[in-house]
Amino acid sequence: MLIELLHVSIIAACLIASVFYGRYMAKVFQGERNLLSPIIRPIERGIYWICGIDESKEMTWKAYLGWYFVFEFVCFPFAIAVLMFQGSLPLNPHGVASFSFDEAFNIATSFITNTEWQVYSGERDFSYLSQILALIVQDFWSPSVGIVCAVALFRGFARKNFSTIGNFWVDITRTVFYIILPLVTVFALFLASQGVIANLGPYVTAHTLDGGEQLIPGGPAAAVIALQIICEDGGGFFNVNAIHPFSSPTPLAYWFQMGIMLLVPSSLIFAFGEIIKNRKIGYAIFIAMLALYVLSSPFYIGPEFQGNPILQKIGVAGGVNMEGKDQRFTLFEVMIWTLTSMCPANGSTLSQHDSLLPISIMGIIWNIVVGAPIFGCWGTGSITIIYYFIIAMFLGGLMTGRTPEMTGKKIEPLETILGAASLLLSSLPTLIFTAIAIALPVGLAGLNNYGPHGFMEIFYNYAADAVNNGSPMAGLTTNTPFYNYTLAIAMIIGRYSTDITALVIAGSLASKKISPITKATLPVTSPFFILMVVGTVVIINALQFFPFMMLGPILEHLYMVMGRTF
Amino acid sequence: MPAKTSINLWQSDLLGRAAKDSVLKLDPRTLWRNPVMLMVEAISILTTVIAINDTFTGGNYKLHIQIAIWLWFTVLFSTFSEAIAEGRGRAQAESLRQARSEAVASKLLKDGSIEHISALSLRKGDIIIVKDDETIPSDGEVIEGVALVNESAITGESAPVVREPGGTISGITGGTRVISGQIKARITADPGETFLDQMIGMVESAKRQMTPNERALQILLVGMSIMFTVVVVTLVPVASYTGVQLAIPVLVALLVCLMPTTIGGLLPAIGIAGMSRLLQNNVVALSGKAVEASGNVDVVLLDKTGTITLGNRMATEFIPAEGVTKEELAVSAMLSSLADETPEGRSIVDLSKQVLGIRGRDIRPSEGSTFVPFSAETRMSGINMDCKEIRKGANDAIEEYVKSKSGSITASIRTAVDDIAKQGGTPLLVVEGSKVLGAVRLKDVLKEGIKEKLSNLRKVGIRSVMITGDNPTTAAAIAAEAGIDDFIGQARPEAKLEVIRKYQKEGHMVAMIGDGTNDAPALAQADVGVAMNAGTEAAREAANMVDLDSNPAKLLDIVEIGKAILITRGALTTFSVANDVAKYFTILPAMFMAQLPMLGVLNVMQLHSPNSAILAAIMFNAIVIPLLIPLSLRGVKYTPSSAEDLLRRNLLIYGVGGLFVPFIGIKLIDILVVLLHLE
């Protein structure tokens, strides 16, 4: 019990810390003097000077979006090129081969969209150059790009009769230097102190007791893991992700990895409250997210603790389901990690999801599809929950006979329609691509399991990629051109629909006036409205995914109760 | 009270026409305005073809034909709801149209001769002449002459009104009748654009413009329909992977049940019904956008006179001087006012009668008395009788008069005068000879019911602002008495425009009502500008609504109707979406139970068989539309309360209700389906 409480309190501590980190972030993005200004401000200025950026010059949403695209279009070919030619480029001590175009396209998309879906095995298939230039660089940039879109949206809410929403280059620079670097540095040092490896040496070959040979990987794991855990890309430095002993050598190391996953997504919402000068709204959104997080926990702690009914029936294993989990961790540790990592679309795994019981997997898929607004990815998470607030506002406004307002900004047709479109664009591709994959031989070819379980593997994969979560369920062979392309397209639609709509809405909101609050204004912070938002999130997603859930996890569960597995 | 044109919803001729129209409206060329229903129609055609094909090839035609029939009913019920809403509105407008199209206009040509032409060929700028007992052929503005006009055709008010050039009573409306007098008027509307045409257009769906909010909702509903299409279509390969082949009519039944057909079907009816509810209140909205905006208004600008107070000041109290009784003062005040035909004068007589307990109508002064009428020089009026000179007048005028007779005003009278002024009243003094008898308090009297209306406004967060020419003290007193939030005293005509701009700049949405040409810029600037029908053409053109009764307090009703329309849409949308949960639990198990019997656990309602479940769901989905027609025509009841209370109530009724009602409804229909052997 004590250990469970400890987990919960570490998460709570990180969430409380996020209140203050959020205030710090708000200062950073508003260009106010903050704790780190004395150290970082000169560097920041130097960068503007070198790049010729006028930090006082703001952009309209069109310019902001334009530079956003320029940035992404430069990143894409560069990353693809590095991956396609890594075999013949330097810093390749183990002579790994180059990727084919479809693989490179998929990997580049995955990292640029902050999905970090891994079609490769991190330690085996990448040269150090690829790790650094294609992956680590994107680990900085892709979450930054997500954050700046969210910050632009926040400004849209805060500003009155404005035509500009900030400066893209300034926002990116500040995210990297004030938000990511300090946090990652501190956390990487902490991880290294716990024994997470950090070197640039060649892999070590070990001779095992039974006479076999094992390749022990090396590399800058502490830095990369710190970066990937904090920035929600969750892509493991090691293929087995956080389960690898080098990734989670001590309880402290993985406890804090778990807690810190929620830090920045949660801080961003508090930063929203600061920027619009209405902390209460930040708290309200936070409470909605926390409620969704807590509400999904029964999926995780329910079935696994009851164990597998088949095994219990034949008396092989009583108690809990430990299949696919490392014995170093308790079941509670594994499941709370899984819950916590799914919500912020982090996707870092501490067990093999393929081996979980069907209802647990349903919980994970649920958190993946709903997960976008529960803390969510850097930036896109905040944007998505704000979209749900907008949709709930629209309905609530109708039901109170008034054009809805959020923080005094009238939520008009443009905002509602774009918000709804973005939400649908990150969920419908999942349904469409899953259906295509299950209908085509080329899709079915990847299956290693059959029946509802096989279906679930495909469903899981597209869902995770469409919301840029990127966690693997495994069990599906996806390194084929078909999966590489379709998964990449799902990632692209999911990510860009959110970011682009956010910038358009930001521009529209910034130009509006701010209406004063009256009794007729629907209070965003009332418990009843928060409940309505939570309800909206649940209903919108349940209506879309219920049929698939029924034919996947629910059907498998019913089969399992009958004694049949896949 | 104007007679409200109320039309019985279930009148048989209305129903007959609506039934016919509902079939005509199936034409895709008209149905495209309602994309959700157009989709359902396309699906119905597809299902019909499949069902007919099944009849010959031996498929499950019994079920499929029934599905097709109920799909058609779904579309028909929707077009029927629209037709009946239109029918009601049209019935209100039809009689007017008739009156006008028969009218012949006497057009005054440039050479001074008169040409008789059809009312329908009059154009803007034409000059016409209308005589006794003629119908006014089109909208216009009186430029010469005076006439008594019966406007009952559009207002329901049988008392005739005077129309004359200039001022606030120069507007005439086509379709009304001149009772006596002759006027020359300038036509202000081209054919098809007159007030009456606009009025009819607002209740005809083909011409009705959708409001921004309605359009947004419709796009969202189309988005949801697309979403469910994806959900249902993608289910096909997954089902076939699981080993279940799904029949198209069954898939279609699922799709139509999930699509927001309830709100989609009723959406046009709600919009039209909103317009005709306004019409019932004798308000004509010239743009649907304004009706919607009226729900958003949070500041209303009200003229003091006529809106908050009755037009005139009334005597409410006698304050006698020392040594004078109230009765003595009352008698003198009455005598001095007997010949005073102003409303103030009459109110003094009335009050005196009350004080003195006189009932008789005829009170005459003694023989030989002479009345002294009010003059601009003396600023007093009164009577000379029995050697007494009784005068009444404003404070300063009487003071001068008394001084000239070497009398003086006592301190107690001065205090009384000051008190009256401080409390927002107007003091009058009554004097006999050089002796001041006392003061009369003249006061603005609030209109009946205005206090409740203003307090309702406050409940929904709307600020009321009073505009008056009175001095600030008087204005403050009236504002306090009526419960007004803010006032602008000593307002110049331009003040309204400035006030509106100021509030709008702060982010408020402002509504105002006005009648004069002076008001036109402010009416145009306001988010909701209501012109009185009797007002000038300039005011009517600048406004986006016209109040036929010319009753300024109507603004408050308009706000409530605007809100009720939005609430009705929101409530039915929530209801429609919440219904989907039960429909999933009905149709999904039914689709798969035959091949995957373990999914029977999801059949929570224990429906009889897959066929009966599918039929029950699709029947419920169709029947719920006509059941909700009365609600959508009447509108969800709107009681002024805070946004949070409204949300809580409507969400509980339509959201939570919408979750559970279909479980019960579908179960009942399922029992019925089994009883009738329809499965």
For residue B507, the chain A residues in CB contact (below 8 A) are: 408, 513-516
B672–chain A nearest CA distance, Å: 27
CA distance B302 to B453: 12
Q: What is the DSSP string of B196-259?
A: HHHHHHHT-TTTPPPPHHHHHHHHHHHHHHHHHHHHHHHHHHHHHHHT-PPPHHHHHHHHHHHS
Contact B563 A401 (CB under 8 A): yes
Could you tell me which chain B residue has the CA closest to the CA of A550? Answer: B599
For residue A450, the chain B residues in CB contact (below 8 A) are: none
* B303 catalytic residue (yes or no): yes
Could you tell me which chain A residue has the CA closest to the CA of B231? Answer: A544
Please count the other Cβ atoms lying within 10 Å of the Cβ belonging to residue A1.
6
Distances (CA, A) of B237 to A434, A436, A452, A481, A548: 9, 8, 13, 21, 11
Distances (CA, A) of A188 to A265, A347, A428, A438, B140: 19, 19, 38, 42, 82
> Over 80: is that where the pLDDT of B419 sits?
yes
A402–chain B nearest CA distance, Å: 5
Structure tokens at A392: 């709930």
The ipTM estimated for the assembled molecules is 0.91
Please count the other Cβ atoms lying within 10 Å of the Cβ belonging to residue A209.
5
Could you tell me which chain A residue has the CA closest to the CA of B259? Answer: A543
| B223 → closest Cβ in A421, A436, A551 | A421
- Each of the 566 residues of chain A gets a pLDDT tens digit; together they read 788 888 889 999 999 999 999 999 999 999 899 988 899 999 999 999 999 899 889 999 999 999 999 999 888 999 999 989 888 888 877 778 888 899 999 989 988 888 877 776 655 678 878 877 877 788 888 889 999 999 999 999 999 888 999 999 999 999 999 999 999 999 999 988 888 877 777 777 888 777 777 777 777 788 888 887 887 766 566 766 777 777 778 888 888 888 888 898 899 999 999 999 999 999 999 999 999 999 888 888 877 877 777 777 776 666 777 777 777 788 888 888 888 888 776 767 777 777 888 888 898 888 888 867 788 788 888 999 999 999 998 888 888 888 788 888 888 888 989 999 999 998 899 999 999 999 999 888 888 888 899 999 899 989 988 888 777 777 778 888 999 999 999 999 999 999 999 999 999 999 988 887 777 778 888 888 999 999 999 999 999 999 999 999 999 999 988 887 77
CB A195 within 8 A of CB A49: no
CA distance B345 to B331: 13
Interface test with A, best of B583, B647, B652 (most A CBs within 10 A): B647
Distances (CA, A) of A291 to A297, A365, A373, B524: 10, 18, 11, 47
CA distance B519 to B497: 8
Q: What is the DSSP string of B33-101?
A: TSHHHHHHHHHHHHHHHHHHHHHHHTSSHHHHHHHHHHHHHHHHHHHHHHHHHHHHHHHHHHHHHHHHH
For residue B644, the chain A residues in CB contact (below 8 A) are: 522-523, 526, 528-529
B66–chain A nearest CA distance, Å: 24
The number of angstroms, rounded, from the C-alpha of B530 to the middle of its chain's C-alpha atoms is 10
For residue A532, the chain B residues in CB contact (below 8 A) are: 647, 651
CB pairs under 8 A between A and B: 191
CA distance A232 to A228: 6
For residue B640, the chain A residues in CB contact (below 8 A) are: none
| A395 → closest Cβ in B507, B573, B592 | B573
Interface test with B, best of A362, A365, A387, A399 (most B CBs within 10 A): A399
At residue B5, φ and ψ (nearest 5 deg) are -80, 95
Q: Which of A408, A415, A172 is nearest to A277 (CA)?
A: A408
CB B525 within 8 A of CB B507: no
Q: Which of B457, B535, B473, B125 is nearest to B522 (CA)?
A: B535
CA distance B181 to A544: 70
pTM of the model: 0.84
A76: helix, strand or coil:
helix
- The angle that helices B212-242 and B554-592 make with each other, rounded to 10 degrees, is 10
Please count the other Cβ atoms lying within 10 Å of the Cβ belonging to residue B145.
17
- In this structure, of B363-367, B407-411, B476-480, the range with the lowest mean pLDDT score is B363-367
- Looking at residue B114, its pLDDT comes to 84
Contact B462 A518 (CB under 8 A): yes
**Do the strands B299-303 and B426-432 form a parallel or antiparallel pair, or are they unpaired?**
unpaired
Catalytic: which of B197, B303, B470, B670?
Answer: B303
Please, is B102 exposed, middle or buried when counting C-beta atoms within 10 Å of its C-beta (0-12, 13-18, 19+)? exposed
- Looking at residue B314, its pLDDT comes to 83
Contact A416 B220 (CB under 8 A): yes
Enumerate residues 6+ apart whose C-beta is below 8 A from A474: A352, A353, A354, A457
Could you tell me which chain A residue has the CA closest to the CA of B563? Answer: A401
B243–chain A nearest CA distance, Å: 9
Structure tokens at A64: 């902001």
Position B203 confidence tier, pLDDT thresholds 50, 70, 90: low
CA distance A543 to A424: 12
Contact A542 B581 (CB under 8 A): yes
Position B1 confidence tier, pLDDT thresholds 50, 70, 90: very low
| B227 → closest Cβ in A439, A516, A544 | A544
For residue B242, the chain A residues in CB contact (below 8 A) are: 451-452, 455, 551, 555
Start-to-end CA distance of chain B, whole Å, equals 57
Contact A516 B507 (CB under 8 A): yes
Q: Which of A380, A20, A376 is nearest to A183 (CA)?
A: A20
A516: helix, strand or coil:
coil
| B642 → closest Cβ in A395, A451, A519 | A519
For residue A451, the chain B residues in CB contact (below 8 A) are: 242
Please count the other Cβ atoms lying within 10 Å of the Cβ belonging to residue B101.
14
Q: Which of A421, A419, A428 is nearest to A545 (CA)?
A: A428
Contact A519 B212 (CB under 8 A): no
- Looking at residue B388, its pLDDT comes to 80
CA distance A225 to A184: 9
For residue A444, the chain B residues in CB contact (below 8 A) are: 241
For residue B213, the chain A residues in CB contact (below 8 A) are: 398, 403, 413
Mean pLDDT of chain A: 86
The runs of H, that is alpha helices, within A113-250 are 122-125, 128-129, 137-158, 168-174, 181-193, 221-230
Contact B651 A399 (CB under 8 A): yes
Distances (CA, A) of B628 to B262, B286, B657: 8, 28, 14
CA distance B679 to B664: 19
A526–chain B nearest CA distance, Å: 8
Contact B231 A452 (CB under 8 A): no
| B241 → closest Cβ in A421, A438, A518 | A438
B446–chain A nearest CA distance, Å: 26
B210–chain A nearest CA distance, Å: 13
Could you tell me which chain A residue has the CA closest to the CA of B463? Answer: A518
Contact A439 B237 (CB under 8 A): yes
| A435 → closest Cβ in B234, B563, B565 | B234
Q: SS3 letters for B243-283? A: CCCCCHHHHHHHHHHHCCHHHHHHHHHHHHHHHHHHHHCCE
Contact B233 A435 (CB under 8 A): yes
For residue A401, the chain B residues in CB contact (below 8 A) are: 295, 562-567, 570, 638, 646
Enumerate residues 6+ apart whose C-beta is below 8 A from B659: B578, B579, B581, B582
B584–chain A nearest CA distance, Å: 8
Interface test with B, best of A393, A398, A486, A536 (most B CBs within 10 A): A398
CA distance A226 to A249: 14
Buried residues in B621-637 as b, exposed as e (16+ CB within 10 A): bbbbbbebbebbbebbe
| A522 → closest Cβ in B215, B233, B643 | B643
Q: Which amino acid is at B113?
A: S
CB B153 within 8 A of CB B176: yes
SS3 content of chain B, % helix, strand, coil (to 5): 55, 15, 30
CA dihedral of A113, A115, A117, A118, whole degrees rounded to 10: 70
Span B537-561, pLDDT tens digits: 777 778 888 887 767 667 778 888 8
CB B419 within 8 A of CB B440: no
For residue A558, the chain B residues in CB contact (below 8 A) are: 598-599, 601
- Looking at residue B624, its pLDDT comes to 95
| A558 → closest Cβ in B215, B241, B601 | B601
> Over 50: is that where the pLDDT of B5 sits?
no
| B216 → closest Cβ in A396, A413, A547 | A413
Interface test with B, best of A400, A532, A539 (most B CBs within 10 A): A400
CA geometry: angle B175, B9, B207, nearest 5 deg = 50
CB B661 within 8 A of CB B579: yes
Contact A548 B238 (CB under 8 A): yes
